[in-house]
Amino acid sequence: MTPLVDGPAADLTSGASLAADVRHYLTQTPRQLPSRALYDTLGSALFDAICHLPWYPVTRAERRLIAANRTGIFDAAGQPSRLIELGCGNGEKLDLLLGPSDEPRHNSVHHIDLVDVSPSALRGACRLIGETRDLVVETHPLRYEDGLVRAAAARTPGERLCVMFLGSNIGNFDPPGAAAFLATIRAVLLPGDALVIGADLVKPESELLLAYDDPLGVTAAFNKNLLVHLNRELDATFDVTCFTHRAVWNAVASRVEMHLVSGVTQPVEIPKAGLSFQLGAGEMIWTESSYKYEVVGFEAALRRAGFSPARHWIDREGQFLLLAARAE
Ligand code: AVJ
């Protein structure tokens, strides 16, 4: 029987930490909201739905790369015995990488730490990964940094560690933020440890806009649900019916931006965040950035953070980059 060990019940999608986060971002100019707040239970479900959309190629491309290179990925990572996945979501990608549990093992992993801000996603991922496998699975309902430090601290000498950061989650960081975060990952690793990371590649604007503003309106719902989440958890008074979803390709910065545009002037009270302000008609709240990379630039960023790229995989359509690097 697989021991399933659960972390502390710190729900980051509600409570004081959400309030502080929202206060910080909403008082910036222009107003912003933290993209991690997109992932309450409904938000996580809507993101899973996005991954099924024909216009959102990220997940499909990455899944194909993982499925075709399961052994190669573990080899390039130096056959780690411990794995930490940051932002595991529903766990389906890691499940695919580990392969069917009734097949001979192609890896030497015996301990997995799953880190995600969404407790609902973590519960599902923990079940999917651990239930049929002879592995220890630990869950950390924490932000990346906190989960990473906690999970890495539990490693035992002689074990090789691999951090996985899939799904182009790195794309939510701006370049200085990405550099700092890669350095944070490097700092918990020892030379020879590995990082397996996925990054979405630059593609034509029309394709990017369809991926982030789909004809079914799922991405719009995902974006607007952030306000539903804040209305529920912080007693905020956003009039959700008056917002529209907007996706913009910022070519100079190489990022897709998601915004929420208020159609009317509306007073907003967020008592639990101690905020009270007026949103103007046409005023936008910036909710997410999804940076798109070129292979060379991405490898350079890894090198600057103290990693040496070992191997990479790109799908036939040139949509997505999966890369294994080793800590120097
Ligand atoms: C989960 C952050 C990789 O940026 O593509 C999907 C989230 N936002 N559609 C991304 C997202 C809009 C996604 N990441």
Q: How far is the CA of 215 from the centre of ligand 1 (A)?
A: 16
pTM for this structure?
0.94
* 289 Cβ closer than 6 Å to some ligand 1 atom: no
- CA–CA distance from 46 to each of 68, 96, 267, 308 (Å)? 27, 21, 28, 36
- Which residue, by CA, sits nearest to atom 12 of ligand 1? 212
- Measured distance CA(234)–CA(245) in Å, rounded: 22
Task: Assess contact for 161 and 151: CB atoms under 8 A.
Answer: no
Minimal-distance CA residue to ligand 1 atom 13:
169
Q: How confident is the model over 17-36, as a mean pLDDT?
A: 96
Q: Atom 1, ligand 1: which residue's CA is nearest? A: 169
pLDDT at 4 over 50: no
3-state secondary structure (DSSP) of residue 61:
helix
CA 289 to chain centre: 12
Give the Cα separation of 298 and 325 in Å (integer).
Answer: 11
Confidence band, pLDDT 50/70/90 cuts, at residue 11: low
Tell me whether residue 41 is exposed, middle or buried, using C-beta atoms within 10 angstroms of its C-beta: 0 to 12, 13 to 18, 19 or more: middle
Q: Which two tokens stand for residue 323?
A: 């890369």
pLDDT digits (tens, 9 = 90+) for 205-218: 999 999 999 999 99
pLDDT in tens, 95-147: 999 999 888 888 999 999 999 999 999 999 999 999 999 999 999 999 999 99
pLDDT score recorded for residue 104: 86
Q: What is the whole-number distance in angstroms between the Cα of residue 105 and the centre of ligand 1?
A: 31
Residue to mutate (ligand 1; options 36, 47, 249, 319; most atoms within 8 A of CB): 47
